[in-house]
Amino acid sequence: MSMGKAKRYVALVAVLAVVALVVTGCGGSGASTAGSGKVTVDIGIGAPLTQGATALGQGMVRGATLAIDDVNASADAKKLGITFVGIQGDDQGDPTKGVNVANQFASDPKLVGVMGHLNSGVSIPASAVYQRANIVMISPASTNPQLTQLGRKNVFRVCTTDAVQGPVAADDAITKLGKKAVYVVDDSTPYGVGLADNFQAEFKTKGGTILGRDKTSDKDTDFKALVTKIKATKPDLVYYGGIYNAGALLAKQLKDGGVTAPLMGGDGLYDPQFVVLAGAANANGDYATSVGLPLEQLPQGQSFLKEFSAKYPNDKPAAYDAYSYDAAKVIMESALVAAKSVGASSVTGTSGRQAIIAAVAAFHGAGITGDIAFDKNGDTTNKAITLYTVTNGVWGPVK
């Protein structure tokens, strides 16, 4: 163990020791007890399930469910007598509904933490609710830098930010793809605006030309007027900050309108549904960056794919299934660490939730998506970004 890790370990032990001393005076436990030594606790899964980027949201549920199965089968969970149950909250990718979901989660006396949300525009206001309730939140997918810049010690993410993704995309556009002139569009959400801003700034710094910038809505379906405007500028590339459901329609209408330049975006486009909605012929040659490395290139990627295929034989992992697995597992493993100090039946009390937050902050271990650790702001230390393109109707990494 390195000196840095040793210090973090000692600090975590000290925090949990203090928590253990005060547990009897810091609020009761809401964890349900089913028989002697058996405790059932909840982990919230906040995601768009019926509207918005539902393919990504359903993938978050799949990833978290796999993690719950694995942790429940672990020796630590059995020894402590803890069983985790996933509770789904449908935020529909909408900030208002997301806050409603957050309040529902916060009112659950059995909750140990929240794996969510997908959209930055949902995660940012929801995180305030979780902060007030001392509930840890780990997002697998919210990439807007603001999320972890608000000083909320309960907020973490296992994906890197748009302050990394946007500049990498701009550099790839110029150095790998040879693009020199781009038209930039965003969907007016915190995610889309932040991603487009970071891309645009770096593209200009690298010597590229910004031909124009427009805003749309994440719910827009008709881009014909915008397509006409873009076509007149003769771009090498169209960059879109937004999610696949609207981005795919833009890609289709660009091709239908005679724009030969490919569309490029971020992780919000990187989903098979982008190809389905745009049509393979329209999507072919389009690009997207996404956080991390391809699963096939990661040490635990093959084992995850094997487990995934066994449980979900009719599905393929979406962009954030593996990240959701890691986020959920970090919450649960941290809850087990806390339970060893405060007791399983007290893990959802005030002191238990504080101990879980401390355990997440000190977490360092191997995940499906790579090494997992957090900096002082709650951001992942894993900054990898991969560029993908659609070839014959399928997303694949650019060689």
Q: pLDDT, tens digit, for every residue of 238-297?
A: 999 999 999 999 999 999 999 999 999 999 999 999 999 999 999 999 999 999 999 989
Q: Is the pLDDT of residue 12 over 60?
A: no
What is the C-alpha separation between 368 and 68, in angstroms, rounded?
A: 14
What is the C-alpha separation between 243 and 252, in angstroms, rounded?
A: 14
Strands (E), 38-188: 39-47, 82-90, 111-116, 137-139, 155-157, 181-186
Same fold, 3-160+298-382 and 162-291: yes
In 3D, which of 389, 51, 92 has the Cα closest to residue 251? 389
CB 349 within 8 Å of CB 26: yes
Q: Is the pLDDT of residue 13 over 50?
A: no
Domain 3-160+298-382, CATH: 3.40.50.2300
Strand 209-215 to strand 181-186: parallel, antiparallel, or no bridges (unpaired)? parallel
- Residue 8 — very low, low, confident or very high, per pLDDT cuts 50/70/90? very low
pLDDT of 31 reads: 64
178 or 31, which is more confident: 178
Q: Which helix (H) or strand (E) holds 288?
A: strand 287-291
- Residue 399 — very low, low, confident or very high, per pLDDT cuts 50/70/90? confident
pLDDT of 122 reads: 98
What is the C-alpha separation between 196 and 135, in angstroms, rounded?
A: 31
Can you name the CATH fold of 162-291?
Rossmann fold (3.40.50)
373 or 30, which is more confident: 373
Sign of the alpha-carbon torsion through 301, 304, 309, 310? positive
Average of per-residue pLDDT across 320-339: 98
Average of per-residue pLDDT across 42-71: 98
Domain ranges (residues) in the chain? 3-160+298-382, 162-291
Q: Is 82 left (phi over 0), alpha (psi -120 to 50) or beta?
A: beta
- Which DSSP state fits 262? P
